[in-house]
């Protein structure tokens, strides 16, 4: 097992390129199962989660060719309709093959999903939407068994207790593309990753509109064809590096960035005293002043993303004054707090909020990552901490960041990966 070792205190400077969006490419790769034709997906990040979804697709008997940031999927005939436990249990997004398989094959058997332990994330909205389309669903031996001889369009409300569900919206969208008639999804997720999926499905011949709004309309078609698509930039990776620049009082430039996807993040960093300059396809992040405390509440897009909450908590740990970070998507997503406190932070949990009393500096320490975004937060804390920080269990990190230690090294960080 690997760990990341950081000698903190270096100011980050320089330029890096943001990879393709992990959270966009996973459902897009699942959507390639909706046709027998070859599809080509470009700007695919080289992360573990992508390799997991590729292995799941291959387990169905589908041919996949992956070279660099390009993936070719050639479905042909399926030899299985089961997404196995040993793969699905490692990544929650694996459940997105459910809708595509059900629509194309008429049957899907998908293990209950796993992934990061950041609180309860049920699949009830997925199943509600698919049942509304006519699927019959049972639970057998830890698997979701779904069958349907003919999916039919329906009016479906997908709002949940903590807002809309991105993966549930994706699953129902994919299933509805081959359903008879019109499907209207209300309370749909509006995230850029859903827009990207909808754009890809339309390239395949689907009839989808409104996929940048809470009401998505899908007119079912008889058949979809293969398509070529370039995945959007990863707004969460971009946000993580923006915060890295801010926490080190740095001056960094990010290429391959979509500004419109980062509105809430840019707004909060500016409020904290960070300078943000937008250019032609790039974003410059610079901090010269002391950090100001701010209040942040995570919300569905276009609000502040939950996937950047841990990183922002690390930033506020070294801001003067008291900040309040409120988590409204996954209220239990504060497992990074105890590790940040080991590094000298003063953070207290009260219900769904973290009360962050900024300190002058953090001190390096051995810490352990609990999930993907917590891993990133601990690395950011290590970049600004005095002395050496060792982040263990970084297999979480590799699920969503492509060569993060290499990119940070390019910016001047003293960071390396070691065997534990």
pLDDT averaged per 10 residues in sequence order, the chain, 420 residues = 95 98 97 97 97 96 96 91 89 90 94 56 85 94 92 95 89 98 97 98 98 97 98 98 98 96 98 96 95 97 97 98 95 94 98 97 96 96 98 92 96 95
Domains of the chain as residue ranges with CATH: 2-18+233-419 (3.65.10.10), 22-230 (3.65.10.10)
Catalytic (active-site) positions: 116
Provide the token pair at 194: 């859903």
DSSP per residue, 101-134:
HHHHHSEEEEEPP----SS----HHHHHHHHHTT
Alpha carbons 176 and 221: distance in angstroms, whole number: 9
- The pLDDT assigned to 89 comes to 84
- The pLDDT assigned to 43 comes to 98
Give how far Cα 54 sits from Cα of 62, 83, 99, 364, Å.
9, 11, 16, 37
DSSP per residue, 25-77:
HHHHHHHGGG-SS-EEEES----HHHHHHHHHHHHTT-EEEEETTEEEEE--S
Any idea which residue has 């430039």 for tokens?
253
Q: Pairing between strand 251-255 and 388-392?
A: unpaired
What's the chain's Rg over C-alpha atoms? Answer: 21
- The pLDDT assigned to 114 comes to 55
Contact by Cβ (8 Å): 279, 270: no
Q: Cβ contacts of residue 398 below 8 Å, gap of 6+?
A: 47, 48
Sign of torsion over alpha carbons 36, 29, 193, 146: positive
pTM: 0.96
Q: What secondary structure letter does DSSP report for 204?
A: T
Q: Cβ contacts of residue 283 below 8 Å, gap of 6+?
A: 238, 242, 253, 254, 257, 259, 262, 276, 277
Alpha carbons 306 and 333: distance in angstroms, whole number: 9
Name beta bridge partners: 389: 6
- The pLDDT assigned to 122 comes to 67
């Amino acid at each position: 097992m690997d760990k990341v070792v950081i000698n903190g205190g270096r100011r980050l400077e320089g330029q890096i390129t943001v990879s393709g969006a992990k959270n966009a490419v996973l459902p897009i790769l699942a959507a390639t199962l909706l046709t027998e034709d070859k599809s080509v997906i470009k700007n695919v990040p080289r992360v573990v989660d992508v390799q997991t979804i590729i292995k799941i697709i291959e387990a169905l008997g589908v041919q996949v060719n992956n070279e660099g940031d390009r993936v070719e999927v050639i479905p042909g005939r399926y030899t299985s309709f089961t997404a196995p436990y040993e793969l699905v249990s490692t990544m929650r997004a694996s459940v997105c093959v459910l809708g595509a398989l059900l629509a194309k094959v008429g049957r899907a058997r998908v293990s209950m999903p796993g992934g990061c332990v950041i609180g309860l994330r049920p699949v009830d909205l997925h199943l509600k939407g698919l049942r509304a389309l006519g699927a019959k669903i049972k639970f057998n031996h830890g698997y979701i068994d779904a069958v349907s001889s003919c999916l039919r369009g329906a009016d479906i409300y997908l709002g949940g207790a903590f807002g809309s569900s991105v993966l549930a919206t994706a699953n129902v969208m994919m299933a509805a593309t081959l359903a008879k008639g019109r499907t209207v999804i209300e309370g749909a997720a509006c995230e850029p990753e859903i827009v990207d999926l909808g754009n890809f499905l339309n390239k395949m011949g689907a009839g989808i509109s409104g996929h940048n709004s809470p009401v998505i309309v899908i007119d079912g078609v008889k058949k979809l064809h293969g398509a070529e698509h370039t995945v959007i930039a990863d707004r969460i990776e971009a946000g993580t590096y923006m915060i890295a620049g801010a926490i080190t009082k740095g001056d960094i430039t990010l290429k391959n960035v979509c500004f419109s996807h980062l509105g809430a993040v840019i707004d909060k960093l500016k409020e904290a005293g960070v300078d943000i300059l937008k250019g032609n396809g790039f974003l410059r992040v610079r901090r010269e002043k002391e950090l100001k405390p701010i209040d942040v509440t995570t919300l569905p897009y276009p609000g502040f993303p939950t996937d950047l909450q841990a990183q922002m908590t690390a930033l506020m740990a070294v801001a003067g004054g008291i900040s309040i970070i409120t988590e409204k998507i996954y209220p239990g997503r504060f497992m990074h707090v105890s590790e940040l406190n080991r590094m000298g932070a003063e953070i207290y949990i009260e219900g769904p909020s973290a009360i962050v009393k900024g300190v002058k500096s953090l001190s390096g320490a051995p810490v352990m990552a609990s999930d993907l975004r917590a891993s990133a937060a601990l690395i950011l804390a290590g970049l600004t901490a005095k002395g050496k920080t060792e982040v263990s269990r970084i297999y979480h990190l590799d699920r969503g960041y492509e060569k993060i230690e290499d990119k940070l090294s390019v910016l001047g960080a003293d960071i390396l990966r070691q065997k534990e």
